[in-house]
């Protein structure tokens, strides 16, 4: 399949990819254009997730590229970033589904699981045989989850008993397993558990009424004496520091998805500007509309440079928490500006789903807040540059 460079990748960062990576990206792009782009606005409107994308995404490698156990070929973190960007460029909800399945759920097992746990669960998640979710946030603990978790884990012989509640958990209305993070009552440390969702005492209830990422199914979870064997405790998750290792990786991917969300809105605005006629000429030939589009492209190009570099640092083993935190904070802030300028360029039609910009405009709000708000990521970087933690 021929790889067509994106015009919105103004400085040709895609040229960093190998031929094999370009080929895989081209296949994903073609499928997203033919099978996903036409249906997503309807699913967004109905607040339903298009379940028919789960298996094809597996076949295209979306849940397997990252993992030693399943990757079809050697690939770079920059390539995997472009995959996240490509998904979000067409639909941030589908990108978020993949971010949870591949990044948060499989990533927890990859980073914190034993070799046996990795061998058992990663292939099932990578093939789409099962869907995963990641339960960290709680009704009373969002930004302060490093110290504020109320969900408890109590050891009982060879088992653990989990009690508590979770909020906002993506994919959780239909996930087969959810990685639950809970405080061990014995040592007070945060530990991770692979919880099959048919375990007695586990209930997930869809959160209704969202105005952002409507197609993503977020749930409130209740854990009422949920019993899981020791074999389902993530063997290398011994404190929140281990949870943070997962978040470092996924935050960088959210930064890529933020660039994709900005690109999606920008491309819809460029198209509209070339078609819509006012004062006898296309609006794209008015200077002020060109100004909006150029400001969008400037944000996208700067953000892309940042995420490419942060992914290169991951491949070199140089990426630290503050690196991915800065990328997440910066690119989501630029995304928010960009989708607003793109929406402005489309006028009234900028708030109608049919013209695409509205969906990106609304979805940007969730990306801005999840996986660490701008404030939390700022404080992570602030701690790194001053040596002083200013969280409380």
Positions that interact with ligand FAD (CB under 6 A): 100, 134-137, 142-143, 168-170, 213, 216, 218, 366, 369-373, 375-376, 391
CB of 371 to ligand FAD, least distance (A): 6
Q: Which is nearer to ligand FAD, 27 or 374 (CB)?
A: 374
CB of 141 to ligand FAD, least distance (A): 7
209: tokens are 């009424």
Which residue of the chain is nearest ligand FAD when measured via CB? 142
CB of 204 to ligand FAD, least distance (A): 12
Q: Which is nearer to ligand FAD, 8 or 145 (CB)?
A: 145
CB of 211 to ligand FAD, least distance (A): 10
Please give the Cα distance from 204 to 174 (Å, whole number).
9
Q: Which is nearer to ligand FAD, 57 or 136 (CB)?
A: 136
- Tell me if 117 sits within 8 A of 194, measured CB to CB: yes
7: tokens are 């015009």
* Tokens 């969906």 -> residue: 359
Q: Which is nearer to ligand FAD, 66 or 378 (CB)?
A: 378
CB of 262 to ligand FAD, least distance (A): 18
- Tell me if 242 sits within 8 A of 112, measured CB to CB: yes
CB of 168 to ligand FAD, least distance (A): 4
Closest by alpha carbon to 80, among 94, 62, 98, 54?
A: 62
77: tokens are 């973190």
Q: Which is nearer to ligand FAD, 341 or 370 (CB)?
A: 370
Please give the Cα distance from 364 to 360 (Å, whole number).
6
Q: Which is nearer to ligand FAD, 4 or 375 (CB)?
A: 375
* Tokens 């993070």 -> residue: 181
Q: Which is nearer to ligand FAD, 83 or 136 (CB)?
A: 136
Q: Which is nearer to ligand FAD, 10 or 391 (CB)?
A: 391
CB of 346 to ligand FAD, least distance (A): 24
CB of 105 to ligand FAD, least distance (A): 9
Q: Which is nearer to ligand FAD, 169 or 269 (CB)?
A: 169
CB of 240 to ligand FAD, least distance (A): 13
Burial of 298 (0-12, 13-18, 19+ CB in 10 A): middle
CB of 369 to ligand FAD, least distance (A): 5
Closest by alpha carbon to 96, among 202, 213, 232?
A: 213
């Amino acid at each position: 399949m021929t790889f067509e460079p994106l015009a919105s990748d103004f400085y040709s960062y895609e040229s960093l990819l190998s031929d094999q990576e370009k080929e895989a990206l081209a296949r994903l792009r073609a499928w997203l254009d033919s099978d996903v782009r036409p249906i997503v606005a309807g699913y967004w409107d109905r607040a339903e997730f298009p379940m028919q994308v789960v298996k094809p995404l597996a076949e295209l490698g979306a849940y397997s590229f990252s993992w030693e156990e399943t990757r079809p070929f050697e690939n770079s973190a920059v390539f995997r970033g472009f995959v996240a960007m490509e998904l979000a460029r067409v639909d941030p909800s589908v990108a978020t589904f993949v971010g949870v399945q591949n990044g948060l759920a499989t990533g927890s097992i990859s980073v914190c699981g034993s070799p046996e746990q990795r061998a058992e669960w990663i292939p099932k998640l990578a093939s789409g045989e099962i869907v995963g979710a990641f339960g960290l946030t709680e009704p009373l603990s969002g930004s302060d989850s490093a110290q504020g978790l109320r969900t408890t884990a109590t050891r009982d012989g060879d088992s653990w008993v989990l009690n508590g509640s979770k909020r906002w958990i993506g994919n959780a209305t239909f996930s087969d397993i959810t990685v639950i993070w809970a405080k061990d009552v014995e040592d007070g440390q945060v530990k991770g558990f692979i919880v099959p969702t048919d375990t007695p005492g586990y209930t997930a209830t869809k959160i209704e009424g969202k105005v952002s990422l409507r197609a993503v199914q977020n749930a409130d979870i209740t854990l009422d004496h949920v019993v899981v064997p020791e074999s389902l405790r993530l063997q290398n998750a011994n404190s929140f520091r281990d949870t943070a290792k997962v978040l470092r990786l996924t935050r960088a991917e959210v930064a890529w998805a933020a660039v994709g969300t900005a690109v999606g809105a920008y491309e819809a605005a460029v198209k509209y500007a070339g078609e819509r006629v006012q004062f006898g000429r296309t609006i794209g030939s008015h200077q002020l509309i060109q100004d909006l589009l150029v400001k969008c492209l400037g944000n996208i190009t700067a953000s892309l440079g940042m995420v490419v570099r942060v992914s290169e640092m991951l491949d070199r083993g140089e990426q630290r928490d503050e690196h991915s935190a800065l990328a997440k904070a910066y690119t989501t802030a630029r995304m928010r500006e960009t989708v607003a300028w793109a929406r402005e360029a489309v006028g009234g039609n900028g708030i109608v789903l049919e013209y695409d910009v509205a969906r990106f405009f609304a979805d940007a709000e969730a990306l801005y807040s999840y996986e660490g708000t701008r404030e939390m990521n700022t404080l992570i970087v602030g701690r790194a540059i001053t040596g002083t933690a200013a969280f409380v």
